[in-house]
Structure 1
Amino acid sequence: MRRFALVLMTLWLALSAAPLRASLVVLSYHDVRDDVAPKGDPDPYAVSTANFAMHLDWLRAHGYVPVSVQQVLDARAGLQPLPGRAVLLTFDDGLRSAYTHVFPLLKAYGWPALVAPVTGWMEMGADRRVAYGARDFGRDDFLTWAQLREMRDSGLVEIASHSHDLHRGVPGNPFGNLLPAATTRLWDGGGYESDAAWRQRIHADLATSRDLILRHTGAAPRVMVWPYAAYSHEANAIAGGLGMPLSFDLEGRAQEADLGLQGEARVEQHALASLARLLMHDNPDVRDLAGELRRDLALDGVRALQIDLDHVHDADPEQQARNLDTLVQRVRDVRPSHVFLQAFADPDGDGAADALYFPNRHLPVRADLFNRVAWQLRTRAGVRVYAWMPVLGYVLPDARLQRELRIAAADPADIPRLDPGDARTQALVSDLYEDLARNAAFDGLLFHDDAYLRDDELPGYGGGDPRRRTAGLVDFTLALKAAAERWRPKLATARNLFARPVLEPASEAWFAQDLDAFLAAYDHTALMAMPALEGTDDPGRWLRALVETVARHPDGLARTLFELQTVDWRSGRRVPPPVLLAQVRALQAAGVRHLGWYPDDFIGDHPPLPAARAAMSARRFPYAEGAE
């Protein structure tokens, strides 16, 4: 089945009497032209006029009901429910085709829509060009204000802001990477833009866009459509303060949001949340559209490589650049769906962060590297990047504070950890997660395997009840996620879980970990399915028992990622590729859907590329070993 990049969002409608469900599908279009190639057009976001018309026919024939922005706002305010299978059409960038090709069809079908122009492009002079896809666009490629006003006056088209000058990349780190202007702290060669300067820049841009739309159409925009789907709760708060309480991104397929507001906390939450959209890509016909809308996302599997950023870092900038290129090429060749990327430095290998790979308030910065590597992996290798971060395992530069906060572990081999029951620990680690999200673009968080508590550690934590200790650590991690989501909304989460609490539930007392608690709290549980780490004599039997146990838990196999080890740390030897492949196949045969391994040695090519493809490719699995 031909696929295109879509982002689907199911919205929950809660009314004051009996809660009802209503689905809202928001379709995101860009250029609509007559001459778009069936597939492989130079502009991957262009849709043919014929296919667009067929979309409207198919949606209406299959029970989808067009809705306006006002209906969405009313539903969000709890005033009027959306109809079943509601659909909203949106058109980004303010291209001339929105008037010449789309608007006549909207009038013919009676469909409302949202048009979001970049006002800076509408205002540019005749001699300016904008790099847009396969060619540069000039003033005549964009809407005129008269055309925009005519569409608005028709009553069918709502005008949104797509910013004035944020639809571009800006220098976002010392290495010169260009990142989305709306969320990036500008790097000027000597330092980063301050939060205050960033807020002033975003406010000025959105105010300019709002004022131009108001002046030329007679109505101020009520909706903000973020370029590149890049936004934050702080950015949405600025837009809301300028009269745009509703915003859209492109991310978060199958996310849930409540359109029926109840109480001030709910109002505040939704004032900061953008709604997701389905991006029309590669000129989808009705078969593509129908297939994607009907596809069961729960069946999608994860293939994850967990990677040490310590192995990219090098004091020699040229060698570091070579290491990064090797990593990106490795990920492109293997083609996993996810990379769990280390965001902290652990050069002594004790499992705790001695320094971090991003600017922050509390720990040394080994190198300002995470942002660069994560961006390269996302844009060049096309994977989702999770920031792999400790929960409690930090070595603070303030030796006195470290002594006060450190857990007195009986076993010196345990990871150095800070007391989660001390408010100073929560505040300090929350600051680090917020700083990470402020300074880097990524898709999710992997909570490190340092989040455990022995039953002889901190006896007062949780009142000595293992379940309460487990719940306390879960709440601790969710607070870290909330801190990060101030700057990176809709982060997915995964958390490492040792195998023993799964196979021996009574050992929760020894770890403060529980599979059911993890399944309820996180998008995925990254179960350490590492037989050599556990010292088992029969790895195959041990893995089968682990799968069978997980399968007995509700959503166990649907939400658990089985993470294998590629190195036997007890002996220091690499796990042979045939052994890894046999484990992967056995796990899949037993019903495991999500797989990963650690470490992926991109420098030493272990596991070797053919085996890595066969085991961890998310795109063309399975491979025959040695296949290209």
Structure 2
Amino acid sequence: MRYLMLALLLLLAVPAHAGRLVILSYHDIHDPAQGPTTDPDATSLDHLVGHLEYLHANGWTAVSPAQVRSAAQGGPALPDKAFLLTFDDGLESFYTRVYPLLQAYRYPALLALVTGWIETAPGDRLDYNGRDCDASCFVTWAQVREMQRSGLVEIASHSDALHEGIVGNPQGNLLPSAVTRRYDPAAGSYETEAAWRERITEDLARSAALIREHTGQSPHAIVWPYGAFNRPAREIAATLGMAMSLTLSDAVPDPARDRTLPRLLLGGDPGVADLAWQLMPTHDVEPRRVVQVDLDYVYDPDPAQRERNLSQLLDRIKRMDVDQVWLQAYADPDGDGVADALYFPNRHLPMRADLFSRVAWQLQTRAGVHVYAWMPALAFRPRAGDPVASLALAGDGKDVARLDPSQPVVRAWIGDLYEDLASHAKFDGLLFSDDALLRDTDRLHDAPPAGAARTAWLVDYTHELIERARRWRPQLRTARNLFAAPVLDGKAEAWFAQSLPALVAGYDEVGLMAMPQLDVAKPSRAWFERLAAAVAAVPGAREKTVFELAAQDWRTRQPIDAATLLARMRLLQVHGALHLGYYPDDFPADHPQLERIRPGISSATYPYKER
């Protein structure tokens, strides 16, 4: 059957990959004949051979790291359907199993060494993915020199001692060392940015010096442990001669555009069919299921109760099997939509509790979801005496209190908060709340133009905030809430500075609030049908729009029963909606009821997967 599948894949090979570069990331290569492995990142030897045979038979061309760097600098273009092989961690199996294959195929590769592991002292041991290891688990410097001199293997740094988790919050979560400001429980404080920079610089310099000492050549590439990097770390690596930067992602790399190149992680021992599918030039957009969560529900003055609340949330989200959680990063205990405090350390507002990092990390690692930090764009309440407090947006009083984004000092102040969030927590995306609007009645100090130009001006403002956050989280995705009124009535754009085409063009996702109560409209079947049709009429909108339903009637403050919520989800799906979500998730009260809402919100097919 395996050979039949391989033959079928060869017959179905298509030329649509032309011009694409794929960078493949491997770790340990094990031989099943010598026993099983518990390493989730390991690839079996027969599967690796199958991958190389598939690439060879389907017209892919192996390229070297030097060729990729040259293409990025305006040199010769890469061949059509180019691939670069990379192997992380410097494991002994690279020399015994991979290097002979590279010699047989004449394929170049990049080997990323954790120099501290190769330098493991006699008698010292370390845990490598559940395997008790000493220096013998890794290549020797003599083997490294032999492979480098062959001309097939380039040596990259994978850091000296950054391939570990360090304490990244008061709750003791271990986060990737290279991008985490270390938390000191004894002092109750975080590593300063200056101390973080010193630690990263010393580590990468030590790694580069060891590679130069043992091979005679300095590394040109840094392969970030766990794929975790940020712009300051990348700049530090570049000053040390490692201008080529590699991470992990399923995005298609473009050497001329990407300052850090994404690599496709081949974890879970994928077979040839799996590799072939991942190399397809396009995939259908997978339906996304989203739950928006108030961190205010998790918060409690008692830390022990917070942990119990968090456990309840994690269990619920895991059982739901959704794709994303849009998680509140600010505190709004009075429910007026304005951020009174934040759930992360920051420069300007009170911190209600250092909680966002903990909850986001637990959701990612234990519930397996992507976490978007949900933040206001304008609705912040500065401390008394803060100069920004006097720069409120003057409007008609119908909307939440907002700051004036036409003021440079306001933009810088809010940008500080976004940068502080990104420097203290690991998350996957940003969601701009529904306060990101401008009315014709809003009186700004330096008024932007009216109409569609005002909509674009507000998009540009949020992109300034995105760039501040991407300094520390370069791979962040983006989403923004959108009211239904401008989608259903184009004239309403003037009252919101929002339009579906502008948000589709400006963000990775659009959180369309499919909540008729917000528009003082009757929640009729016809209303939802019109909304779905309006989205379908905008090119590209269906693929980006998350229809976010209300789980509460905002006028009566009463919960909407799960049966009604499910019926609305199914109605939207019948009329073409691809992505669905809801807000709020009142998990302490089990609303919506887990077992009743699960058929509509779960990403799994029936029967539902249990994790």
TM-score, length of structure 2 as denominator length: 0.94
Q: After superposition, where does 1:550-569 map in structure 2 within 5 Å? A: 550-569=535-554
Q: After superposition, where does 1:307-322 map in structure 2 within 5 Å? A: 307-322=293-308
Question: Residue type matched to 1:96 in 2?
Answer: E
Of residues 233, 236, 245 in structure 2, which corresponds to 1:235? 233
How far did 1:467 drift?
1.3
- Equivalent in the alignment of 1:284: 270
- 2:97 is paired with a residue whose SS is helix
Give the distance between the partners of 1:213 and 1:618, measured in 2 at CA: 46
- Equivalent in the alignment of 1:31: 28
- Equivalent in the alignment of 1:208: 206
How far did 1:602 drift?
1.5
State percent identity of aligned pairs.
50
Contact 1:36 1:283 in 2 (8 A): no
- Equivalent in the alignment of 2:100: 104
- Equivalent in the alignment of 2:6: none
Contact 1:247 1:275 in 2 (8 A): yes
- 1:140 is paired with a residue whose SS is helix
How big is each residue's C-alpha offset from its partner over 1:513-541, in whole Å with a ceiling of 9 and x where there is no partner?
11111011000111001123333335211
Question: Residue type matched to 1:155 in 2?
Answer: G
Give the distance between the partners of 1:558 and 1:102, measured in 2 at CA: 40
Mark the CA change 1:423 to 1:256 in structure 2 (over 3 Å): closer, same or farther. Answer: farther
Give the distance between the partners of 1:463 and 1:35, measured in 2 at CA: 65
Mark the CA change 1:369 to 1:336 in structure 2 (over 3 Å): closer, same or farther. Answer: same
How far did 1:399 drift?
4.4
Q: After superposition, where does 1:339-354 map in structure 2 within 5 Å? A: 339-354=325-340
Question: Residue type matched to 2:311 in 1?
Answer: D
- Equivalent in the alignment of 1:467: 452
Given the alignment of the two structures, is residue 177 of structure 1 paired with residue 163 of structure 2, yes or no? no
Contact 1:532 1:539 in 2 (8 A): no
How far did 1:585 drift?
1.1
Question: Residue type matched to 2:470 in 1?
Answer: E
Give the distance between the partners of 1:520 and 1:480, measured in 2 at CA: 17
How big is each residue's C-alpha offset from its partner over 1:275-301, in whole Å with a ceiling of 9 and x where there is no partner?
111111121111111122227444212
Higher relative contact order (CA 8 A, sep 6+): 1
- Equivalent in the alignment of 2:182: 186
- Equivalent in the alignment of 2:579: 594
- Equivalent in the alignment of 1:195: 193
How big is each residue's C-alpha offset from its partner over 1:122-170, in whole Å with a ceiling of 9 and x where there is no partner?
0011211111123211111110000111111100001000000001111
Q: After superposition, where does 1:219-258 map in structure 2 within 5 Å? A: 219-251=217-249, 253-254=250-251, 257=254
Give the distance between the partners of 1:292 and 1:37, measured in 2 at CA: 29
State the Cα RMSD in Å: 2.0
Mark the CA change 1:37 to 1:355 in structure 2 (over 3 Å): closer, same or farther. Answer: farther
Question: Residue type matched to 1:451 in 2?
Answer: A
Of residues 369, 390, 404 in structure 1, which corresponds to 2:376? 390
- Equivalent in the alignment of 1:422: 407
What residue ranges of structure 1 are gaps of 5+ in the alignment? 3-19, 262-269
Give the distance between the partners of 1:27 and 1:450, measured in 2 at CA: 42
Of residues 39, 51, 54 in structure 2, which corresponds to 1:55? 51
- 1:182 is paired with a residue whose SS is helix
Contact 1:615 1:622 in 2 (8 A): no
Give the distance between the partners of 1:426 and 1:440, measured in 2 at CA: 22
- 1:160 is paired with a residue whose SS is strand
Mark the CA change 1:289 to 1:37 in structure 2 (over 3 Å): closer, same or farther. Answer: farther
Mark the CA change 1:464 to 1:88 in structure 2 (over 3 Å): closer, same or farther. Answer: closer
How far did 1:80 drift?
1.0
How big is each residue's C-alpha offset from its partner over 1:212-247, in whole Å with a ceiling of 9 and x where there is no partner?
001111111100000111110000000000000011
TM-score, length of structure 1 as denominator length: 0.92
Question: Residue type matched to 2:203 in 1?
Answer: D
- Equivalent in the alignment of 2:10: none
Question: Residue type matched to 1:543 in 2?
Answer: F
Give the distance between the partners of 1:382 and 1:260, measured in 2 at CA: 33
Given the alignment of the two structures, is residue 454 of structure 1 paired with residue 439 of structure 2, yes or no? yes
- 2:279 is paired with a residue whose SS is helix
Q: After superposition, where does 1:68-83 map in structure 2 within 5 Å? A: 68-83=64-79
- Equivalent in the alignment of 1:130: 126
How big is each residue's C-alpha offset from its partner over 1:90-138, in whole Å with a ceiling of 9 and x where there is no partner?
0000000000000000000000000001100000112111111232111
More divergent stretch after superposition (203-212 vs 122-131): 122-131
- Equivalent in the alignment of 1:13: none
Give the distance between the partners of 1:255 and 1:414, measured in 2 at CA: 42
What residue ranges of structure 2 are gaps of 5+ in the alignment? 3-16
How big is each residue's C-alpha offset from its partner over 1:413-468, in whole Å with a ceiling of 9 and x where there is no partner?
41110001111111001111001001110000000100111111126755551212
Give the distance between the partners of 1:117 and 1:468, measured in 2 at CA: 51
Give the distance between the partners of 1:461 and 1:519, measured in 2 at CA: 27
Structure 1 stretches of 4+ moved >6 Å: none
Contact 2:30 2:37 in 1 (8 A): no
- Equivalent in the alignment of 1:163: 159
- Equivalent in the alignment of 1:119: 115
Mark the CA change 1:174 to 1:81 in structure 2 (over 3 Å): closer, same or farther. Answer: same
Question: Residue type matched to 1:389 in 2?
Answer: M
Contact 1:614 1:622 in 2 (8 A): no
Give the distance between the partners of 1:555 and 1:300, measured in 2 at CA: 14
How far did 1:36 drift?
7.4
- Equivalent in the alignment of 1:16: none
Give the distance between the partners of 1:36 and 1:300, measured in 2 at CA: 37
Question: Residue type matched to 1:480 in 2?
Answer: L
- 2:120 is paired with a residue whose SS is coil
Give the distance between the partners of 1:400 and 1:487, measured in 2 at CA: 26
Question: Residue type matched to 2:193 in 1?
Answer: D
